[in-house]
């Protein structure tokens, strides 16, 4: 059980870092580099930002719950 929570925590933290870095900020961030292929799949850049915002929320919730679960189990 503890190993599964550690693996979930690591995967969610890596995903959370990637989702935050791919969001566009004031200077367009790293998402400016992938908008060419992303626009073909997700539409305009605004659609990409909404997708990354939702992914950030979900990954943050998974990270929070897995870290709380790991604290309780240990």
List average pLDDT for each run of 10 residues in the chain, which is 74 residues long. Answer: 94 94 67 54 67 92 96 92
0.75 surpassed by pTM: no
Question: In 3-state terms, what secondary structure has residue 1?
Answer: coil
Given this model, what pLDDT does residue 27 score? Answer: 55
Report how far residue 48's alpha carbon sits from residue 62's, in angstroms, rounded to the nearest whole number.
21
Q: What is the dihedral angle through the alpha carbons of 22, 23, 27, 29, rounded to the nearest 10 degrees?
A: 0
Give 16's contacts (C-beta < 8 A, 6+ positions apart). Answer: 56, 59, 60, 63
Question: In 3-state terms, what secondary structure has residue 45?
Answer: helix
Tokens 């189990």 belong to: 73
């Amino acid at each position: 059980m503890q190993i599964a929570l550690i693996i979930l925590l690591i995967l969610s933290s890596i995903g959370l870092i990637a989702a935050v870095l791919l969001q566009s900020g004031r200077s367009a961030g790293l998402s400016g580099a992938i908008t060419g292929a992303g626009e073909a799949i997700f539409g305009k850049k605004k659609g990409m930002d909404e997708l990354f915002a939702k992914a950030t929320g979900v990954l943050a919730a998974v990270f929070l719950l897995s870290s709380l679960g790991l604290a309780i189990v240990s």
